[in-house]
Amino acid sequence: MHAVREEETLKQWIPIARIDEIPRQGARVVTTATGNIAVFRSIDDRVFALLDRCPHKGGPLSQGIVHGRRVTCPLHNWVIELESGQAVAPDEGCARRFEVRVEEGMIAIALPAHEA
Amino acid sequence: MKEKLVLVGNGMAGVRTLEELLKLAPDAYDITVFGAEPYGNYNRILLSPVLAGEKTVADIILNEESWYHEHGITLHKGKAVVRIDRRYRVVTAEDGTEARYDRLLLATGSRPVILPIPGHDLSGVIGFRDIRDVEAMLSAAQVYRHAVVIGGGLLGLEAANGLKKRGMRVTVVHLLDTLMERQLDKPAAALLQRALEESGLEFRMEAQTEAILGDNRVEAVRCKDGTEIPADLVVMAVGIRPNIELAKAAGIYCERGIVVNDTLQTYDPRVYAVGECVQHRGQLFGLVAPLFEQAKVCANHLAGFGIARYEGSMTSTKLKVTGIDLFSAGEFQGGAGYEELLFQDPARGIYKKLTVKDNRVKGAVLYGDTVDGSWYFQLMREGADISAFRENILFGQAHLGDSGHGSENRAALLPDSAEVCGCNGVCKKTIVDAIVHKKLFTLDEVRAHTKASASCGSCTGLVEQILQSTLGSDYSVSPKKKPLCKCTEHTHDEVRAAIRERGLKSIPEVFHSLDWKTPDGCHQCRPAINFYLLCAWPGEYRDDPQSRFINERVHANIQKDGTYSVVPRIWGGVTTPAELRAIADVAEKYQVPTVKITGGQRIDLLGVKKEDLPRIWADLNRAGLVSGHAYGKSLRTVKTCVGKEWCRFGTQDSTTMGIDLEKMTWGSWTPAKVKMAVSGCPRNCAEATIKDLGVVAVDSGWEIHVGGNGGVKVRATDFLCKVETDEEVKEYVAAYLQLYREEAHYLERTAHWIERVGLAYVKKRLVEDPAGRHALRDRFLESQRSAQVDPWAERAQGAERHEFEPVRRLEQNDYARCA
């Protein structure tokens, strides 16, 4: 958590929700002035955050089926890696990723300070 | 310490096994590969186009050396293994290189048969097996003029065609009177011979080669009848023989090939074998598709999963000679108990033959028009009952009704710019380039890379055709047994059977009991299993919303911009001014951008924000309107005409019947969407004969029609039966829907289901077995008791609120406060 101090000065950790507010194998949306962020919870309770736009045609990833560490976009079935935001090959593209931490059941995501 | 895996044979079967293994268990083994040839793994089936000058050696390399490096595989190329010591588990190559193994994989392939006739060892006499042979042919073609190919089979003809294209004068000597007799019957072979003769090849049929003449290099070939054919190059293409000497010398049990069981294991449990060197259930192999199926199964066992079994393959063949379309599969010669269906049009050079037994396709030979090859092959593999369309079967699938591609039936002749996939805008050249440059072999791979046929699927036949004409003879459509998805080896039917027989009551139980390869499945298997459980245990199974597609989770249709559409149920398409007023009111109140009449006589409110859905539903509920399930794999609509209440031609009250059927069936989850219609007379204004179930009134009662489809591929219904009373109609509709729910595969529309199982089967279950029909009806009505709950009302009252609201709204000042 303390490894990249330099970056931490450039971003803000913003508390979002308790982990039990996100369904397992599901996602919820955080609205922001610069677009929606999808917050995912995998079956083993890992939490991930991506910009809620599929790199293919902008589909809302938060509405997809979550399986393993992946989500399938509801529009055209592109599969996106939750950890990296990368599309699974042979599709190519990347959804923007946000850092997440969970402390005592509270989820926080890191937003770049300049977006504040 | 990792176990050591040694692969002997750096060819397609062995390396494919490694690729499959690396997908399943990338870190299970330290891998060492020995290959006798001085190359990385290449695509042997594309040697013919290399010979013909249509491709280069570089084009056909499948795995560059960098691939071995990236995966930490030690590659000894150009080193033939000469000894296996099974006691100390060591293999030794001819140069003394040794490698220890814990598991050994033999993929030594086969050798061309060289006839032991006088002169067979002269210079200029070769087989057609590897890059070296092709290089020998190419250098001969530069200096010499006359070539003789012994053997008029698939490989011989491809060699002959290639040599002719390289400028040689080529004579094919064939022992029998039929070319490619293992793939073609006489009429098709005659058409092929004529076409090849027109292109410049010469043939000596029913001719036996007696000797090859010459002092040092070959000069001529002498046939048994004494004639001599001048020859500077002789290619023997009379068959292949499994390469088993190494295994035999090591004491591994061999017959004609290395004998393996259904897990591709030899008699030594540490030693596996795949490819052309094996003998499985008495069969040898010479085409690529079965090798790939074996590779998959073998990798599954090497990875320690231990669940897959190889049960043999059904293969089809295509000749890789540019401009010639031929397809062959199965028991095309027929015989006692077989019927033959024939179509011949000599002027167009078209010949089609199907062999049929008990109304099931057993074999096919197609010449000149092969677009339906994959369809016939599919019917064969599935054992589909063709009685409902056998009078049209030879005219092809397009003739049964296809909106998009009816006239395109010769993929090889399509221009590069032709649009093949209309949904995704993919032209032929894009597909061919992807197949060649990305080394694709299967329909699934082409779909993944190009998206062609990945949406509506109507161009699937054409894409398979392009795959065949690009890859040539050894491509086979898909495995005989099709797994439900990539997470398992089990089929839809096997999963359903396990749910019933083992009493599995939840998705995790299914995954556990059937050894799923992924922890929680994928977007394909979870919705399927959720439906199968719901269907098997009505009222008991608790639906898993996270395993439903978004539309079924939020009970509205997602649109391209992430908004939703709302379609209230309008029973039988009959509405009232009050209902219309309520719909108009919500459309204005929530500023719905588009209001549209649907094809199923409903009203669609498009562009609704997700957060507004529960409130819109509450407003609609107050006017008595409920969910129309326009978003679900469920009963969608019952379309009706006005019937005898108003129409001067009407014979029955079709609107009331439509409303009654909709009241009975709404809320039911089905494998795919279900649309019904009721027409009041045979003029059929409700278009009931392109619905999943259509009811058409006649003066004396009702006709029931099933399995129609008006979408991707138009399919008119099959006539099921005629009944007299309204009660009987309801009984049949309920029984039919239940049979479909219990036996179709998830996402399989009734049209495809009926084509797969056959109308005769559906009639047997519904018409000829009244007790069975009553039981099906009862099960349907029982499951409806827990299904008929308006999902809109529940959510309007606050259920599943988390689905509709953001978990947090961040405003600018939230950031500021944190900063």
Return the H-helix or E-strand segment holding B301.
Answer: helix B288-302
Q: How confident is the model at residue B478 (pLDDT cuts 50, 70, 90)?
A: low
Q: Is the peptide bond before A90 cis (omega within 30 degrees of 0)?
A: yes
Closest residue, chain A, to B451 (C-alpha) = A91
Whether the predicted pLDDT of B510 surpasses 50: yes
Query: What is the number of other CB atoms lying within 10 angstroms of the CB of residue A51?
Result: 20
Strand A37-41's sheet: what is its strand order? A97-98, A47-51, A37-41, A26-31, B808-809
Asked if B815 lies within 8 A of A116 by C-beta distance, the reply is yes
How far is CA B156 from each of CA B126, B196, B197, B240, B567, rounded to the nearest angstrom? 12, 12, 15, 12, 63
CB-closest option in A13, A72, A90 to B523: A72
Lowest mean pLDDT across A87-91, B86-90, B382-386, B528-532? B382-386
Whether the predicted pLDDT of B743 surpasses 80: yes
What integer is the mean pLDDT of B681-708?
A: 95
Lowest mean pLDDT across A4-8, A93-97, B394-398, B528-532? A4-8
> Which residues face B568 on adjacent strands?
B627
Q: How confident is the model at residue B814 (pLDDT cuts 50, 70, 90)?
A: low
Predicted confidence at residue B472, as pLDDT, reads: 64
Lowest mean pLDDT across B43-52, B132-141, B464-473? B464-473
CB-closest option in B521, B810, B819 to A113: B819
Predicted confidence at residue B479, as pLDDT, reads: 53
Q: How confident is the model at residue B399 (pLDDT cuts 50, 70, 90)?
A: low
Interface of B with A (CB under 8 A): 438, 448-449, 518-523, 526-527, 545-551, 554, 558, 560, 562, 802, 806-812, 814-816, 818-819
Whether the predicted pLDDT of B816 surpasses 60: no
Q: How confident is the model at residue B6 (pLDDT cuts 50, 70, 90)?
A: very high
CB-closest option in A29, A67, A70 to B806: A29
Of B29, B210, B8, nearest to B90 by C-alpha is B8
Pair type for strands B674-679 and B635-640: parallel
Provide, as residue numbers in chain B, all residues whose Cβ is less than 8 Å from the Cβ of A43. Answer: 519-520
Predicted confidence at residue B278, as pLDDT, reads: 96
Rounded to the nearest angstrom, the minimum Cα separation between B556 and chain A is 12
A86 touches chain B (CB under 8 A): no
How far is CA B395 from each of CA B345, B370, B450, B459, B721, rounded to the nearest angstrom? 12, 11, 29, 17, 27
In sequence order, what E strands does B297-442 have?
316-318, 326-330, 339-345, 350-357, 360-367, 419-421, 426-427
Asked if B808 lies within 8 A of A65 by C-beta distance, the reply is no
Size of interface A-B (CB pairs under 8 A): 101
Provide, as residue numbers in chain A, all residues whose Cβ is less than 8 Å from the Cβ of B816. Answer: 116
- Its pTM stands at 0.72
- Residue B379 vs residue B789, higher pLDDT: B789
Closest residue, chain B, to A27 (C-alpha) = B803
Whether the predicted pLDDT of B721 surpasses 90: yes
Q: How confident is the model at residue A115 (pLDDT cuts 50, 70, 90)?
A: low
Asked if B546 lies within 8 A of A17 by C-beta distance, the reply is no
- Report the share of chain B in percent with pLDDT over 90: 70
CB-closest option in A21, A60, A115 to B807: A21
Q: How confident is the model at residue B292 (pLDDT cuts 50, 70, 90)?
A: confident
* DSSP label of B276: G
* DSSP label of A54: -
Of B407, B385, B401, B394, nearest to B690 by C-alpha is B401
What pLDDT digit, counting tens, does each position of B608-634 carry? 999 999 999 999 999 999 999 999 999
Residue B375, token pair as written in the block: 């369809």
Which bin fits B200, alpha (ψ -120 to 50), beta or left (φ > 0)? left
- Residue B383 vs residue B143, higher pLDDT: B143
What pLDDT digit, counting tens, does each position of B217-233 carry? 999 999 999 999 999 99
ipTM value for the complex? 0.91
Round to whole Å and give the CA distance between B541 and B529: 12
Residues making up chain A, counted from first to last: 116
Of A18, A20, A57, A53, nearest to A37 by C-alpha is A53
Q: How confident is the model at residue B552 (pLDDT cuts 50, 70, 90)?
A: very high
User: Distance between terminal CA atoms of chain A?
Assistant: 22
Whether the predicted pLDDT of B413 surpasses 80: no
- Report the share of chain A in percent with pLDDT over 70: 89
Rounded to the nearest angstrom, the minimum Cα separation between A56 and chain B is 12
Report whether A17 contacts B808 (CB < 8 A): yes
Provide, as residue numbers in chain B, all residues whose Cβ is less than 8 Å from the Cβ of A64. Answer: 523, 550
Lowest mean pLDDT across B156-165, B414-423, B544-553, B686-695? B414-423
Round to whole Å and give the CA distance between B764 and B775: 14
Return the H-helix or E-strand segment holding B553.
Answer: helix B550-554
> Which residues face B754 on adjacent strands?
none
Rounded to the nearest angstrom, the minimum Cα separation between B807 and chain A is 6
Round to whole Å and give the CA distance between B325 and B319: 7
The residue among B426, B544, B808, B818 with the most chain A CBs within 10 A of its CB, best to mutate, is: B808
Report whether B459 contacts B418 (CB < 8 A): no
Predicted confidence at residue B561, as pLDDT, reads: 93
Predicted confidence at residue B249, as pLDDT, reads: 96
What pLDDT digit, counting tens, does each position of B488-500 carry? 989 999 999 999 9
Of B424, B430, B460, B457, nearest to B442 by C-alpha is B460
Provide, as residue numbers in chain B, all residues whose Cβ is less than 8 Å from the Cβ of A58. Answer: 562
Closest residue, chain A, to B440 (C-alpha) = A90
What integer is the mean pLDDT of B163-168?
A: 93
Round to whole Å and give the CA distance between B683 and B107: 64
Rounded to the nearest angstrom, the minimum Cα separation between A5 and chain B is 16
What integer is the mean pLDDT of B402-406?
A: 41
What pLDDT digit, counting tens, does each position of B435-471 carry? 888 888 888 888 888 888 877 777 777 888 788 777 7
For residue A57, the SS3 value is coil
